Amino acid sequence: DGGITQSPKYLFRKEGQNVTLSCEQNLNHDAMYWYRQDPGQGLRLIYYSQIVNDFQKGDIAEGYSVSREKKESFPLTVTSAQKNPTAFYLCASTPGAAYGYTFGSGTRLTVV
Amino acid sequence: AQSVTQLGSHVSVSEGALVLLRCNYSSSVPPYLFWYVQYPNQGLQLLLKYTSAATLVKGINGFEAEFKKSETSFHLTKPSAHMSDAAEYFCAGSNAGGTSYGKLTFGQGTILTVHP
- One digit per residue, the tens of pLDDT, for chain B of length 116 reads 578 999 999 999 999 999 999 999 987 666 899 999 999 999 999 999 998 878 899 999 999 999 998 999 999 999 999 999 999 999 999 876 655 567 899 999 999 999 99
- Total count of residues recorded for chain B: 116
Residue pair A66/A47 in contact (Cβ under 8 Å)? The answer is: yes
Secondary structure class of A73 (helix, strand, coil): strand
* pLDDT tens digit sequence for A24-37: 999 999 999 999 99
By C-alpha distance, the chain A residue nearest B38 is A105
Q: Is B60 helix (H, G, I), strand (E, B) or coil?
A: helix
Residue of B nearest to A108 (CA): B41
Whether A100 and B49 lie within 8 Å, measured CB to CB: yes
What pLDDT score does A21 carry? Answer: 98
Whole-number pLDDT of residue B100? 59
* C-beta atoms of B102 and A104 within 8 A: no
Min distance A42 CA to chain B CA atoms (Å): 5
The per-residue pLDDT for A60 is 96
Question: How many alpha carbons lie under 13 Å from residue A17 in its C-beta half-sphere?
Answer: 12
